[in-house]
Amino acid sequence: MDNNQLVAIEFQEVVKKFGSFTAIHNANLKIHDNEFFTLLGPSGCGKTTLLRMVAGFENVTEGNIFLFGKEFMHLPPNKRSVNTVFQQYALFPHMTVFENVAFGLKMRGWVKDDIQPTVWKMLDLVRLRPFAERKPNQLSGGQQQRAALVRAIAPRPKVLLLDEPLSALDLKLRQAMRLELKQLQQETGITFVFVTHDQEEALAMSDRIAVMSEGVIQQIGKAQEIYESPKNEIVANFIGETNILQATLVELNDEEAKYQIAEDFIISGGGASGLVKNQEVKILLRPEKIRIGTSDNQIDSIPGTIQQSMYLGTDTEYQVRVPGEKTLKVRDQNGFERRKLLPAGSEVSLSFSKDSIRILRS
Amino acid sequence: MQVASSVRSIPGFSLLAILCLVILYAPLLVVMVYSFNDSLSITIWGGFSLRWYEQIFFGLEAEKFQKAAWNSITIAFMAAVVATTIAFSAAIGVVRTSPFKGKNLNISLLSLPIMVPEIVTAVATLIFFSMISFKLGYTSILVAHIVFCIPFAYLPISARMQSIEKVYEEAAMDLYANRKQIFRSILLPLMIPGIISGFLLAFIISLDDFIITSFVKGAGVETLPTAIFGSIKQGIKPDIMALSTLLLLVSTILVTISYFLSRADLKNKLN
């Protein structure tokens, strides 16, 4: 990202403690204006806490958070121009959909003549006009979700905070809502800060992602960066599946490095800058980057035996036994060429390109 | 549901259930039926008549009963209003705050009076009034009723308060509402069913209270229960049955309203 882009939210050395438990360790993060930013991590990693501190429901133990460069931590939630879409939607049960969407505008002191057209515009945005007079409990889950969304967008907050808003929906609806959320963000131009534990959701929608674990921001980057070049094992393990192999750097020259995993298992690859010979490293290899073949006369291929095969529709997943008593997970796409499922016990050869392995210092 | 059906399959279950219901309701039924009895005797049926109802409203004791009824209803109404207000405030203080020292103690202390034997409360109240030389009469009844109605009003109100998730208030705050606006447009409307239930419960409890009232009422002031008790001292007359039936009717109506309110509410929540 461009460094001189407008920063919507900036976390500076933010620490949050609940009693003796530290929920957030020195978080530093810049979220840009008009960005779809995702905080991704397993439950309990502190991502919701970060969001609640921006909304004003939690205070900051140490450090500071800025909204478009201005201090705002001293303001109560109702004085902050950020709005939240809550995980359970929190639509007011005694109000109609219209009244719910109008609520924020009314509280901001808008006059009735301005509220009406804005609410209708919002309801049209998410196709809820026919449901304006319904109570929240007369709506489906997806409709409630959309109502909660526009209720938070209607007052045109500077930043919209979304706390796992899709987690209560079923899979099909969740996928449809992803698209809708992304569109809504682009149409409104509001900065979205999205919290989720669902990596697929994060990869699909976000401009940038911050991966969190145990209160620490592990890596910040675009979806592809996070997936292709995870900074550490935590990120690699959390985003997608990966094979992690312990190895020793045994040969090193300008173009190539060789890593020994077991006595008869040496692979070559790049990524050796800053490494010295005999250094212990970890090799990350995504299952879908490995090609599985039956002929064993390929150059640089690793012989293996299939231990288990699992047919998953679009892919087949194989557990392949390779030299050194290791097991590699391989994903083979059931694509253009129709292939037979390789049964357990088949002798195969595995190959991958040098670029697809990632080296981590251990 | 397995458990329920297994209990029902025990032989004699329905017989036992019917027996229980009969024991519960037979006395009430007798009173209701015999309030329409034309005969002066309370045990021999002498044909249908509304004369006892007429008697309550226009008979010799009509004035006494009307005055007692007026006292009962005004006291019950005022006691219920004040008790509900106090219980509501207490529920906000106890349920709607972050944990504080003695919070659990507070919760138990608020509902404990329900378990104190009423006669103890009655004696204690009377002693307290005489210690501070409070003149016994209409006002002393009212004050005593307000006090013992609070825990009853508190029950449905705090239950309702606990069922309202905090996230609604957070959402309102997030949407620029200040404390006053949150109270007026979110908390209060959501609390209405609980408040009405609490009010009705307090009203009924006050309306039919006998023990405490008879201790603190002083001479000359009667509520319906004490008036009824006073007049059966000279023997049970059928007009008392008519009066009791009317009281039962009022209670039933109030309880039914309260029931449907909580039902409608439950339905709302489940959907």
Predicted confidence band of residue A296 (pLDDT cuts 50, 70, 90) = low
Answer whether A103 sits within 8 Å of B177, measured CB to CB: yes
Phi then psi for residue A44, to 5 deg, are: 85, 10
Answer whether B173 sits within 8 Å of A77, measured CB to CB: yes
A257-262 and A265-269: which strand pairing? antiparallel
Per DSSP, A61 falls in state S
pLDDT of A237: 87
User: Cα separations (Å) of B205 from A142, B10, B151, B248?
Assistant: 46, 37, 11, 13
Mean of all residue pLDDT scores within chain A: 89
Within an 8 Å CB–CB cutoff, is residue B171 touching chain A? yes
Within an 8 Å CB–CB cutoff, is residue B173 touching chain A? yes
Top-confidence residue, A294 or B271: A294
A357-361 and A347-351: which strand pairing? unpaired
Domains, chain A, ordered by start = 7-238 (3.40.50.300), 243-361 (2.40.50.140)
Mean pLDDT lowest for which of A203-212, A343-352, B39-48, B142-151? Answer: B39-48
Encode pLDDT of B213-254 as tens digits: 999 998 889 999 999 898 888 787 888 888 889 989 988 898
User: Cα separations (Å) of A64 from A34, A45, A304?
Assistant: 21, 19, 53
pLDDT of A3: 55
Across the interface, of A86, A94, A138, the residue whose CB is closest to B190 is A94
B270, closest residue in chain A (CA to CA): A137
Query: How many residue pairs from chains A and B have C-beta atoms closer than 8 A?
Result: 63
Across the interface, of A86, A93, A108, the residue whose CB is closest to B176 is A108
Within an 8 Å CB–CB cutoff, is residue A138 touching chain B? yes
How near does any CA of chain B get to the CA of A165, in Å? 14
Over range A130-156, report the average pLDDT.
93
Encode pLDDT of A79-120 as tens digits: 999 999 999 899 999 999 999 999 999 999 999 999 999 999
Please, what's the largest Cα pairwise distance for chain B? 71
Distance between terminal CA atoms of chain A? 29
Distance between terminal CA atoms of chain B? 22
Within an 8 Å CB–CB cutoff, is residue A168 touching chain B? no
Predicted confidence band of residue B268 (pLDDT cuts 50, 70, 90) = low
Within an 8 Å CB–CB cutoff, is residue A144 touching chain B? no
Tell me how far apart the alpha carbons of residues A300 and A278 are, in angstroms, rounded to a whole number: 22
Within an 8 Å CB–CB cutoff, is residue B165 touching chain A? yes
Across the interface, of B170, B177, B268, the residue whose CB is closest to A57 is B170
The answer, yes or no, to whether residue A1 has pLDDT greater than 50, is no
Encode pLDDT of A29-43 as tens digits: 999 999 999 999 998
A160, closest residue in chain B (CA to CA): B174
Phi then psi for residue B218, to 5 deg, are: 75, 180
Closest C-alpha to B37, from B60, B63, B55, B62: B55
pLDDT of A265: 83
Closest C-alpha to B202, from B93, B102, B85: B85
Q: Is A116 left (phi over 0), alpha (psi -120 to 50) or beta?
A: alpha
Predicted confidence band of residue B4 (pLDDT cuts 50, 70, 90) = low
pLDDT of B271: 43
pLDDT of B236: 79
Answer whether B186 sits within 8 Å of A83, measured CB to CB: no
Q: Is A6 left (phi over 0), alpha (psi -120 to 50) or beta?
A: beta
Over range B8-36, report the average pLDDT.
89
Tell me the two tokens of residue A7.
Answer: 């920063």
Encode pLDDT of A123-139 as tens digits: 998 999 999 999 999 99
Burial A35-74 (b: 16+ CB within 10 A, else e): bbbbbbbeeebbbbbbbbbbbbbbebeebebbbeeeebbe
Answer whether B268 sits within 8 Å of A93, measured CB to CB: yes
The answer, yes or no, to whether residue A323 has pLDDT greater than 90, is no
Answer whether A78 sits within 8 Å of B271, measured CB to CB: no
pTM of the model: 0.81
User: Cα separations (Å) of B259 from B85, B147, B254, B263?
Assistant: 21, 24, 9, 6
